[in-house]
Amino acid sequence: MPHLYLIRHGKPATVWGQGSDDDPGLDEQGLAQAIAARDALLARPELERPKRVVSSPLRRCRETAQPLAEALGVQVEIDSVVGEIPTPANLAPEQRSVWLKHVFQSRWSEIDGDIDYQGWRHAIARSLRARGDTAVFSHYVAINAVMSHLEGHDRVLAFRPDHASITVLETDGEELRLVEKGREAVTGVL
């Protein structure tokens, strides 16, 4: 089956809601992580290397994806489906961290918000099934959405992917299968 690589973005320059930039790029460490992710993917056997690069629209993901796209000679394809978990519209930016901490302790069916988070989770999995031979650069919660789906449970927090962690999946266009979880973070995401 074709491989699919699900990569969390590198370390951002600021944490969302804790500064003036709601779409931060990478800091120096994050840029180094993007290069390391590129090198790890290019070191794979030739038949397992990604041929396409897909990214969340957010800058930290696009900047993490760019070194791989340049090395492969392809454009970064932007897909909002693999973007950050949608924050409830009535939530002030400074309340996002508290909301996320509650989300991490919840089940997908219990998230308090203004969208169907179960549906959001399933949409990500559907999108990935069609992306063989692709590196997808995404976010902590979106990766957890996929992992909980694959593991068949409703807990939001299924995995703690570190910055630039690479999770390996396989897909034939209909089935999505976990091959190897990426490196986990030893500290909290927030």
Round to whole Å and give the CA distance between 138 and 80. Answer: 10
Low-confidence ranges of the chain (pLDDT < 70): 16-21, 187-190
Query: So what's the pLDDT on residue 148?
Result: 95
The helix/strand/coil state of 70 is helix
Which pLDDT does position 29 carry in this prediction? 97
CA–CA gap between residue 173 and residue 183 (Å, rounded): 26
Residues 105-127: pLDDT tens digits? 999 999 999 999 999 999 999 99
Tell me what pLDDT residue 17 has: 54
Which pLDDT belongs to residue 93?
Answer: 80
C-beta atoms surrounding 158 within 10 Å: 18
Q: What is the pLDDT of residue 99?
A: 93
Query: What is the pairing mode between strands 176-180 and 52-55?
Result: unpaired
